[in-house]
Amino acid sequence: MWRDAALVAGKDLRIEGRSRVGLSQVAPFGIVALVLFAFALGPDRQLMAKGAPGLFWVAVLFCTVLAVQRSVSVESSDGARDGLRLSGIDPAGLYLGKTAAVAAQLVVLELLLAVGVILLYGARIEVPWMIVVSCLLGTVGLAATGTLYGALSAGIRVRETLLPFLLLPIAAPVLLAGTRIWQAAMAGGTPATGMQWLRLLVVFDAVYVAIGVVLFGPIQETA
């Protein structure tokens, strides 16, 4: 299972490395979103610094939708999906591999967005490890749910419009938890309140990764 996962993740990241869709389209989109949020909140830097945690996570959520769409569309042409199923790769490994590839891209993106939030909104971070852990846990949760829904909607022609509608409400707890952890870890926050939210993220990740590992085979047959 792990070897299959590494193979699939390597394949997706190699495609990404050669096509540069994430770097040339998704990342700039994230920056555009940050700039638009700044326009929406006005030039008041204090207000922007206060809203920075939430805005960061909303931007990440939107980028997740794009990354998942890309991850699905990579398999949709030339009968790639059938090829994968025929290749004898363990469905659980396939799921973990696709999830890992999406998560890796999101982590790079989050790094970029975090720098943007600090520079553009003047957000001051007091407890850096909490920010890092929240990003890692949140990313796993988003990639895990995203890959599940991506596979489920793979065969649907109206996928582009349906996927965000299905995925974003499910991912709402990640947004809530991520925002609260960031607020706790920033200047003026109380770091202790972040702990229960970190636990919530762990539960969210565990639940959806487990569902994916167990159910990815049947889900693939559905699409």
Partner 1 sequence: MTDDSTTATATATAAGAADDPSTAIAGTIGSGLVAHPPTAVAPNTGVTVSPVQSPRSRMIERAIGALALVGTVATVWLGIWVTPPDKTQGDLVRLVYIHPGVAWVALYLAFGLAAVSSLLYLWPRTRSLFWDRLAAASVEVGVVFNVCTLVSGSIWGKPTWGVWWAWDARLTSTAVLLVLFLGYLALRRVPAEPEVRARRSAFVALFAAVDIPIIHFSVNWWNTLHQGATVLNANLSPQIHGSMAWTLLLGFVALTLVFVWMLLVRYRIGVLEDWLGANELDLALAERHSEGSGRLDGPVADRPGAA
Binding site for partner 1 (CB under 8 A): 145, 148-149, 152, 155-158, 162, 165-166, 169-170, 172-173, 176-177, 180, 196-197, 200, 203-204, 207-208, 211, 215, 218-219, 222-223
- Rounded-to-integer distance, Cα 25 and Cα 190, Å: 36
Q: Are 3 and 93 in contact (CB under 8 A)?
A: yes
The gap from C-alpha 207 to its chain's centroid, in whole angstroms, comes to 16
Rank residues 128 and 218 by Cβ distance to partner 1 and give the closer one: 218
Rank residues 24 and 190 by Cβ distance to partner 1 and give the closer one: 190
Rank residues 182 and 197 by Cβ distance to partner 1 and give the closer one: 197
Closest CA to 201 of 164, 176, 221: 176
Rank residues 45 and 85 by Cβ distance to partner 1 and give the closer one: 85
In whole angstroms, the minimum distance from the beta carbon of 64 to partner 1 comes to 16
In whole angstroms, the minimum distance from the beta carbon of 219 to partner 1 comes to 6
Two structure tokens written together for 181: 């952890």
Burial class (CB in 10 A: 0-12, 13-18, 19+), 5: buried
In whole angstroms, the minimum distance from the beta carbon of 170 to partner 1 comes to 5
Q: Are 191 and 127 in contact (CB under 8 A)?
A: yes
Three-state secondary-structure class, residue 164: helix
In whole angstroms, the minimum distance from the beta carbon of 29 to partner 1 comes to 23
Rank residues 64 and 145 by Cβ distance to partner 1 and give the closer one: 145
Residue position matching structure tokens 């040339």: 24
Dmax over CA atoms of the chain, in Å, equals: 56
In whole angstroms, the minimum distance from the beta carbon of 59 to partner 1 comes to 20
Rank residues 39 and 165 by Cβ distance to partner 1 and give the closer one: 165
In whole angstroms, the minimum distance from the beta carbon of 119 to partner 1 comes to 28
- Rounded-to-integer distance, Cα 48 and Cα 37, Å: 9
